[in-house]
Amino acid sequence: MRYECRSIEPLLHDYVEGWLDARLSAVAEQHLQVCPVCRAKVAGWQTVATALQELPQLPAPAVSIPTHAPEPRVLIHLAVALCALLAVLIVWQGHTRQLPTELLDSSPLVHAVQTYTTTIRERLAEVQRIWKAL
């Protein structure tokens, strides 16, 4: 394949699709007049495009997509943040061995972590249901 053919091939794809303006279309046609290799490629692409256009059009399957599906990245970021918080609490608890368990059990921070953990489990289960439905 010649260098000019390699450089003009992307243009030929757009030419076959009819996406080029008049100036670029003229450039493609000028190259096709002198290059039998590219002319054969374009003829093949046009044959395939015509065959694809002649295929019967089938209706798309009905799929119900949830309108308010949670963004998985947000859930992953929240899970990572909570894991980091739990790791800090575990390390902190290891350094303060004399901390009474009653304080930990009634701590608003521990309650918040438990609440968020439950929320994360519910959200992850919801994401799994959505993925399975798709």
Higher pLDDT, 73 or 31: 31
Q: How buried is residue 122: exposed, middle or buried, by Cβ count under 10 Å (0-12/13-18/19+)?
A: exposed
Return the closest-CA partner of residue 79 out of 42, 127, 40: 127
Indicate the pLDDT class of residue 133, thresholds 50, 70 and 90: confident
Q: What's the CA angle centered on 46, arms 44 and 49, to 5 degrees?
A: 110
pLDDT at position 1 over 60: no
- Whole-Å CA distances, 60 to 52, 130, 133: 17, 19, 16
pLDDT at position 94 over 90: no
Average confidence (pLDDT) over 77-97: 70
- What is the residue type of 103? L
Indicate the pLDDT class of residue 2, thresholds 50, 70 and 90: confident
- Please tell me the distance from the alpha carbon of residue 28 to that of residue 67, in angstroms, as a whole number: 45
